[in-house]
C-alpha cells in the first residue's frame, strides 16, 4: 500500500498518541498532521526518556500536548473521550534499567496502561487502541524466525511488564469487545531518537559514536543479529495495523532487516566516510539480558494488514546520519 492510501484513513480523524514526544510517537504525529488528522500528544517527559520538544517543533502549532503520565486519568480522560484512534506508545524499553528498578518499570509499562485501558472501556468503548509491544517479550528465542506463538519468556523485567501490558490490551478485546491490538517492535532506528545514553536504542547509539568520531563499542564479536526497521516503516505498520479491521485482539511481530551488530557498525562507518569499531567483552549487566539472535517472522502482519518495509538499511542509516548532523545540538 502506498503512503497516500494509508494516510487517507486518518484524514480528519481524532488521534491521540501517548509517548507522543518520543522517537516513534513524534514521527507518527508528524505523519498524521501531514495526513490531516487532529492530533493530541500525551507525554510526561520523564528525564532520560525519548521525549524531546524539538521532535515536534515543525508541527507544534498543529497538535495539542497534554503533559501527563498516562496513569493520571483525570488529566487525560477529556482527550480519550473524543479520540477515535489511540496509539499507546508510552513506556520504557531499557533492559538494564528495568533490572535496576523493576518496580518503576512495572508502573510505567503495566499499571499505568491498565488505568488507561479502564478509562477507555468506561468512557469510549468505540475507540481503537494500538499498544507498542516489543521483541523483548520473547526473551532468548527457542527457534528462528520467531512467530507470534513463540513462548513469552522475557529475559528481563521490561519484557515481563510489556507482556502484562500487552495482555491487558488483548484481554480487553476478548472480554469487553474493544478494538485493541499490539505490534511487537524489533530494533527501530532513525531520526528523533534520543541520543543522550546507550540504554535504549543500540542502533542510534552507534550513529552517535560515529558522528562523534568515537569508536563504536560492540560487546562480544558483534555476530548477534537484531531485526532492524527504519522508523518510517514502523510508522507505516502502526498506521496500517490500527486502521485494519483484522487487527482486533491480535498481536503482530514487526521486523524488516535482520542484521548483525557488526554489519550495522561497518555500514555506518562506510556511510559516514570515517569511524572505527572496538570489540569488548560483555559487562555483567548486559550479558544477563542478552538474548542472542533475534529474527522476527512477520508473515502475520504482511498477510492480515498488508504491510511491507520500504526502506533499505543503507537508505535508512544515511537519512539518520544526515538528520543528526543537521540537528546535533538538539540531541547531544
- Asked whether position 80 contacts its own copies by CB under 8 A, the answer is no
Residue 246 in the binding site for its own copies (CB under 8 A): no
C-alpha cell at 172: 480487553
Q: Could you tell me the smallest distance in angstroms from the CB atom of residue 193 to its own copies?
A: 27
Q: Which of 39, 106, 185, 203 binds its own copies (CB under 8 A)?
A: 106
Nearest-approach distance from CB 170 to its own copies, in angstroms: 8
| Contact call for residue 115 and its own copies (CB under 8 A) | yes
Q: How far apart are CA 136 and CA 185, in angstroms?
A: 9
State which residue, 38 or 180, has the beta carbon closest to its own copies: 180
Half-sphere exposure of 259 (CA within 13 A, CB side): 22
Residue 159, SS3 per DSSP: helix
Size of residue set near its own copies by CB under 8 A? 29
- Check binding of 173 to its own copies (CB under 8 A): no
**Is residue 167 a contact residue for its own copies (CB under 8 A)?**
yes
CA 4 centroid distance within chain: 22
Instruction: Please state the φ and ψ torsions of residue 51, each to the nearest 5 degrees.
Output: -65, 130
Q: Is 72 in the site for its own copies (CB under 8 A)?
A: no
Binding of its own copies by 29 (CB under 8 A): no
DSSP state string for 195-247: -S-SSS-HHHHHHHHHHTTPPEEEETTS--EEEEEEHHHHHHHHHHHHH-GGG
Nearest-Å Rg of the Cα atoms of the chain is 19
The answer to whether 188 contacts its own copies (rule: CB under 8 A) is no
Distance CA 131, CA 322 (A): 30
Considering only residues 276 to 315 of the shown chain, the ones binding its own copies according to CB under 8 A are: 288-289
Identified binder of its own copies from the candidate list 1, 65, 164, 267, rule CB under 8 A: 164
Binding site for its own copies (CB under 8 A): 99, 102-103, 106, 110-111, 114-115, 118, 149, 151-157, 160-161, 163-164, 167-168, 170-171, 174-175, 288-289
Amino acid at each position: 500500500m502506498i503512503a497516500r492510501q494509508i494516510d487517507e484513513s486518518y484524514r480528519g480523524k481524532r488521534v491521540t498518541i501517548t509517548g507522543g514526544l518520543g522517537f516513534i510517537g513524534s514521527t507518527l504525529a508528524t505523519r498524521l498532521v501531514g495526513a490531516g488528522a487532529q492530533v493530541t500528544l500525551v507525554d510526561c517527559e520523564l528525564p532520560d526518556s525519548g521525549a524531546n520538544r524539538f521532535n515536534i517543533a515543525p508541527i507544534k502549532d498543529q497538535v495539542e500536548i497534554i503533559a501527563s503520565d498516562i496513569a493520571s486519568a483525570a488529566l487525560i480522560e477529556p482527550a480519550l473521550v473524543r479520540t477515535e484512534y489511540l496509539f499507546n506508545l508510552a513506556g520504557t524499553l531499557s533492559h538494564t534499567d528495568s533490572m535496576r528498578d523493576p518496580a518503576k518499570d512495572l508502573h510505567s509499562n503495566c499499571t499505568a496502561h491498565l488505568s488507561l485501558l479502564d478509562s477507555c472501556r468506561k468512557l469510549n468503548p468505540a475507540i481503537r487502541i494500538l499498544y507498542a509491544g516489543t521483541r523483548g517479550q520473547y526473551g532468548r528465542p527457542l527457534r528462528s524466525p520467531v512467530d507470534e506463538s513463540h513462548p513469552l519468556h522475557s529475559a528481563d523485567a521490561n519484557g515481563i511488564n510489556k507482556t502484562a501490558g500487552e495482555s491487558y490490551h488483548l484481554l480487553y478485546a476478548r472480554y469487553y469487545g474493544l478494538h485493541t491490538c499490539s505490534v511487537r517492535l524489533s530494533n527501530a532506528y532513525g531520526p528523533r531518537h534520543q541520543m543522550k545514553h546507550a540504554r535504549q536504542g543500540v542502533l542510534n547509539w552507534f550513529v552517535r559514536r560515529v558522528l562523534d568520531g568515537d569508536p563504536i563499542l560492540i560487546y562480544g564479536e558483534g555476530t548477534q543479529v537484531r531485526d532492524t526497521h527504519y522508523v518510517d516503516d514502523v510508522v507505516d505498520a502502526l498506521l496500517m495495523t490500527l486502521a485494519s479491521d483484522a487487527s482486533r485482539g491480535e498481536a503482530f511481530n514487526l521486523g524488516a532487516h535482520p542484521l548483525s551488530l557488526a554489519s550495522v557498525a561497518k555500514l555506518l562507518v562506510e556511510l559516514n566516510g570515517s569511524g572505527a569499531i572496538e570489540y569488548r567483552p560483555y559487562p555483567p549487566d548486559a550479558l544477563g539480558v542478552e538474548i542472542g539472535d533475534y529474527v522476527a517472522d512477520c508473515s502475520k502482519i504482511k498477510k492480515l494488514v498488508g504491510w511491507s518495509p520500504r526502506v533499505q538499511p543503507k537508505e535508512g542509516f544515511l537519512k539518520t546520519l544526515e538528520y543528526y548532523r543537521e540537528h546535533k545540538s538538539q540531541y547531544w
